[in-house]
Amino acid sequence: MIMMKRVLIITYYWPPSGGGGVQRWLKFVKYLPSFGWQPVVVVPENPEYPVTDYSLEDDISPQTDIIKLPIWEPYGIFKKITGRKKEEKVNAGLLFDEKKRTLTEKLSLWIRGNLLIPDPRVFWVRSSSKRLKKILKYLKPDVLITTGTPHSVHLIGNKMKRCYPGLPWLADLRDPWAEWDMLDQFYASKWAKKRQKNLEYKTLSLADAITTVSPSWANELESTIKKKVHCITNGFDEEDFSNYSYKEKSNDFIISHVGIINSYRNPESLWTALQELCEEFPEFYQKLQIQIIGITDTGLGKTLDKFPKVKEKTSVTGYIPHEKVIYQYQKSSCLLLLLNNTKNSMGHIPGKFFEYLASGKPVLAMAPVESDVARIIREQKIGFAAPFDDKDFIKKSILSIFRGETDQISYETINEFSRRSLTKKLSELLTETINSQISD
């Protein structure tokens, strides 16, 4: 009988939280037992999740140990002073839409950027650390993992490492910390940005291993903290596609986008290209359907008003359960990937991108040509990566997909991005981290 090692994972996002961020560690936890690890997951007891998706709970094994610790978050105060309803969800990705901000909203954003460092979940650090110090005495994990965002979770890991210096600690960053491109939108001062940098360096310098989700972000973080940073990307779960029909497709030409669209992911060049194609090719206009699935800000509607033919062909659906998203993939003719038109886009590889790969459908990405997303698209020959403002290239790419001129996507070549393969990579890193701690 194989002796299972115990891994303690501290994360903020966990089912019933929805969205892409929760799936990374949900899937790792699902497959870690296959590689000899017994996960124990620490999550908040009463969190403020932007969206919920109870279908994701199906991936949690009954044998998974889950520890829930109380959390206090300042979103109730934020809602009160900004006039939002108590039950309204706060989604950081939509705080920067095109509407004019009130003075109280500006003040709230300033507080977020300058006082709540590293983020609004910082109030979970002290209370959870105090409880975990007692829990670790009898739990005795072989290794500790913290995953952020929110990066406050890494502060908990830092405290645990100081309390138990012999406990190997892996810090996983799903998003940048001090170099996060949204900090400017929170009116972060020079002092606040320096504070973020110092906190990042002080915290991660103590970690025994560090992972992030893209090669570019790994290189950037390495240059900052002067330590090795491992890249373990997000991926797709083969089981999610077990009943998937790769040949199923509508007779219409359906372009689907899944996820948030805000002012940073709303390229007018794309809508201009689609409008011109509708005007130049009657058959294209007749068959075109655009599905927007997920949360959008007010700016999208204002933009589409400028492109009447595109707006006529566009349907906007709110967040839907992940299992239904898979069904929408197989009906689609083209999957649209919109990255933020910001400095972090070079290393931003959204989790849904790997499901796009697994869907077998052509991908059209709005991304820098030297970005990690563009590189994967070229290597896998799964579609096109267009610069944000290159309308002509966007038109040419869409027309090529419409006419069926793209390569046939091979499922076998993307196996390196399967959740099982990525968990094996994680398992090997955990073993290496433990062995290094022992040898030291």
**Both 204 and 327 in a single domain?**
no
pLDDT of 96 higher than 60: no
pTM of structure: 0.91
Q: Is residue 162 part of a domain?
A: yes
Q: Is residue 386 part of a domain?
A: yes
pLDDT of 95 higher than 50: no
The residue that leads in pLDDT, 105 or 112, is 112
Range scoring the smallest mean pLDDT among 45-59, 149-163, 210-224, 244-258: 244-258
Return the CATH number at 254. Answer: 3.40.50.2000
The residue that leads in pLDDT, 84 or 356, is 356
3-state secondary structure of 284: helix
At 94 the pLDDT is 42
| Percent of the chain with pLDDT strictly greater than 90 | 60
Strand order in the sheet with 363-366: 314-317, 288-293, 253-258, 334-338, 363-366, 383-386
Q: Note the pLDDT tens digit of each residue in 221-273.
A: 999 999 999 999 999 999 998 887 776 677 899 999 998 887 777 788 999 99
The residue that leads in pLDDT, 411 or 302, is 302
For residue 35, is it left (φ>0), alpha (ψ between -120 and 50) or beta? alpha
Nearest CA-CA partner of 4 in 43, 40, 41: 40
pLDDT of 98 higher than 90: no
User: Cα separation of 369 and 377, whole Å?
Assistant: 10
pLDDT of 422 higher than 90: yes
Q: Is residue 91 part of a domain?
A: no
DSSP character at residue 68: E
Q: Is residue 109 part of a domain?
A: no
**Both 227 and 326 in a single domain?**
no
Residue 65 bridge partners (DSSP)? 40
**Both 269 and 161 in a single domain?**
no
| Tokens read off for 252 | 């219409």
**Both 19 and 125 in a single domain?**
yes
**Both 141 and 36 in a single domain?**
yes
Q: Read off the amino acid at residue 114.
A: N
**Predicted confidence band of residue 100 (pLDDT cuts 50, 70, 90):** low
**Predicted confidence band of residue 166 (pLDDT cuts 50, 70, 90):** very high
Give how far Cα 68 sits from Cα of 26, 39, 43, 422, Å.
15, 14, 5, 26
At 80 the pLDDT is 61
Q: What is the DSSP string of 35-67?
A: GTEEEEEEEESS---SSB-GGGGGGS-TT-EEE
At 82 the pLDDT is 57
Q: Is residue 150 part of a domain?
A: yes
Over range 155-164, report the average pLDDT.
96
**What are phi and psi for residue 209, nearest 5 degrees?**
-150, 150
Q: Is residue 113 part of a domain?
A: no
Q: Give the domain extent around 225.
A: 5-72+118-235+419-439
| Tokens read off for 303 | 């933009």
At 360 the pLDDT is 87
The residue that leads in pLDDT, 158 or 322, is 158
CB contact set of 29 (below 8 Å; sequence gap of 6+): 9, 39, 41, 60, 61, 64
**Predicted confidence band of residue 383 (pLDDT cuts 50, 70, 90):** very high
**Both 289 and 179 in a single domain?**
no
Residue with tokens 């400028």: 306
Over range 121-144, report the average pLDDT.
93
At 106 the pLDDT is 78
Q: Are residues 153 and 177 in contact, defined by beta-carbon separation less than 8 angstroms?
A: no
Over range 320-328, report the average pLDDT.
86
The length of the chain is 440
**Both 410 and 434 in a single domain?**
no
Nearest CA-CA partner of 211 in 225, 235, 228, 231: 231
At 79 the pLDDT is 59
Q: Are residues 205 and 225 in contact, defined by beta-carbon separation less than 8 angstroms?
A: yes
3-state secondary structure of 416: helix
Count the alpha carbons within 13 Å of 215 in the hemisphere toward its beta carbon.
7
User: Cα separation of 388 and 137, whole Å?
Assistant: 52
User: Cα separation of 211 and 28, whole Å?
Assistant: 13
- Alpha-carbon dihedral 216, 222, 227, 233, rounded to 10 degrees: -20
Give the distance from CA 32 to its chain's centroid: 20
Tally of domains within the chain: 2
Nearest CA-CA partner of 35 in 132, 139, 143: 143
Q: Is residue 77 part of a domain?
A: no
**Predicted confidence band of residue 93 (pLDDT cuts 50, 70, 90):** very low
**Both 367 and 395 in a single domain?**
yes
**Both 66 and 34 in a single domain?**
yes
For the chain, what is the mean pLDDT? 88
At 279 the pLDDT is 96
How large is the angle between the packed helices 372-380 and 351-359, nearest 10 degrees? 10
pLDDT of 88 higher than 60: no
Q: Is residue 407 part of a domain?
A: yes
pLDDT of 46 higher than 80: yes
pLDDT of 2 higher than 80: no
**Both 344 and 370 in a single domain?**
yes
3-state secondary structure of 309: helix
Q: What is the DSSP string of 385-439?
A: EE-TT-HHHHHHHHHHHHTT-SPPPPSGGGGGGBHHHHHHHHHHHHHHHHHHHHH
At 342 the pLDDT is 80
Rg (CA), the chain: 22
**Both 295 and 223 in a single domain?**
no
At 180 the pLDDT is 86
Q: Note the pLDDT tens digit of each residue in 185-234.
A: 788 899 999 999 999 999 999 999 999 999 999 999 999 999 999 999 99
At 203 the pLDDT is 95
Over range 286-299, report the average pLDDT.
88
**Both 253 and 184 in a single domain?**
no
pLDDT of 345 higher than 90: no
pLDDT of 91 higher than 80: no
